[in-house]
Amino acid sequence: REQQAADGYDPDAGRGCPHARFVLDPATPSLHADNDRLRAAGPLVPVTAEGVPAWAATRYATLLTVLTHPKLSRDIRHWATRDTCPAGTAIDRIVTDTSMLNAEGDDHRRLRTPVAGAFTARRLQQLRPKIEALTDRLVDALAELPPDEPVDLRKEFAYPLPREVISELIGIPAEHQDALHELSDAVAQVSDTLDDSPDVRRALHELLDRIIEERRDTPGEDLITDLFRLREKDGDRLSSDELFATIELLFIAGHVTTVNLITNAIGALLNRPDQLELLRTGQCDYSAAVEETLRWDSPIAYFPMRYAVQDIEIDGVRLRAGEPVLACFAASGRDPGQFGENADRFDITNPPNAHLAFGHGPHFCLGAPLARIEAEIALKALFEAFPEIAPAARPEDLAPLDTLLGNSTRSMPVLLGP
Q: Is there a contact between 322 and 55 (Cβ–Cβ < 8 Å)?
A: no
Residue from the set 212, 370, 401, 404 that interacts with ligand HEM by CB under 6 A: 370
250 near ligand HEM, rule: CB under 6 A? yes
365 near ligand HEM, rule: CB under 6 A? yes
Contact window for ligand HEM (CB under 6 A) among 128-136, 211-219, 352-360, 398-406: 352-360
Please give the backbone phi and psi of residue 379, each rounded to the nearest 5 degrees, phi first: -65, -45
Residue from the set 85, 223, 253, 266 that interacts with ligand HEM by CB under 6 A: 253
Contact window for ligand HEM (CB under 6 A) among 221-229, 257-265, 310-318, 376-384: 257-265
Q: Is there a contact between 356 and 333 (Cβ–Cβ < 8 Å)?
A: yes
Q: Which is nearer to ligand HEM, 365 or 382 (CB)?
A: 365
* SS3 at position 80: coil
Q: Is there a contact between 330 and 300 (Cβ–Cβ < 8 Å)?
A: yes
DSSP designation for 401: P
Contact window for ligand HEM (CB under 6 A) among 18-26, 256-264, 273-281, 339-347: 256-264
- Amino acid present at 158: A
Taking the complex as a whole, the smallest distance from the CB of residue 108 to ligand HEM amounts, in Å, to: 6
Residue from the set 304, 324, 333, 391 that interacts with ligand HEM by CB under 6 A: 304
Total number of residues binding ligand HEM (CB under 6 A)? 25
Q: Is there a contact between 206 and 197 (Cβ–Cβ < 8 Å)?
A: no
CA separation, residue 218 to residues 74, 137, 175, 221, 399 (Å): 35, 28, 15, 10, 43
Contact window for ligand HEM (CB under 6 A) among 32-40, 75-83, 310-318, 362-370: 362-370
Task: Determine the Cα–Cα distance for residues 90 and 184; give it in Å rounded to an integer.
Answer: 12
Q: Is there a contact between 328 and 35 (Cβ–Cβ < 8 Å)?
A: yes
Taking the complex as a whole, the smallest distance from the CB of residue 54 to ligand HEM amounts, in Å, to: 14
Residue from the set 11, 53, 254, 406 that interacts with ligand HEM by CB under 6 A: 254
Among positions 260-299, residues that touch ligand HEM (CB under 6 A) are 261, 299
Residue nearest to ligand HEM (CB): 367
List Cβ<8 Å contacts ≥24 apart for 206-210. Answer: 207/176, 207/179, 207/180, 207/183, 208/180, 208/244, 208/247, 208/248, 208/251, 209/244, 210/176
Taking the complex as a whole, the smallest distance from the CB of residue 357 to ligand HEM amounts, in Å, to: 5
Q: Which residues contact 248 (CB under 8 A, 6 or more apart)?
A: 95, 96, 99, 184, 204, 205, 208
Among positions 72-101, residues that touch ligand HEM (CB under 6 A) are 100-101
Question: Would you tell me which residues interact with ligand HEM (CB under 6 A)?
Answer: 67, 100-101, 112, 166, 249-250, 253-254, 257-258, 261, 299-300, 304, 329, 357-359, 363, 365-367, 370-371
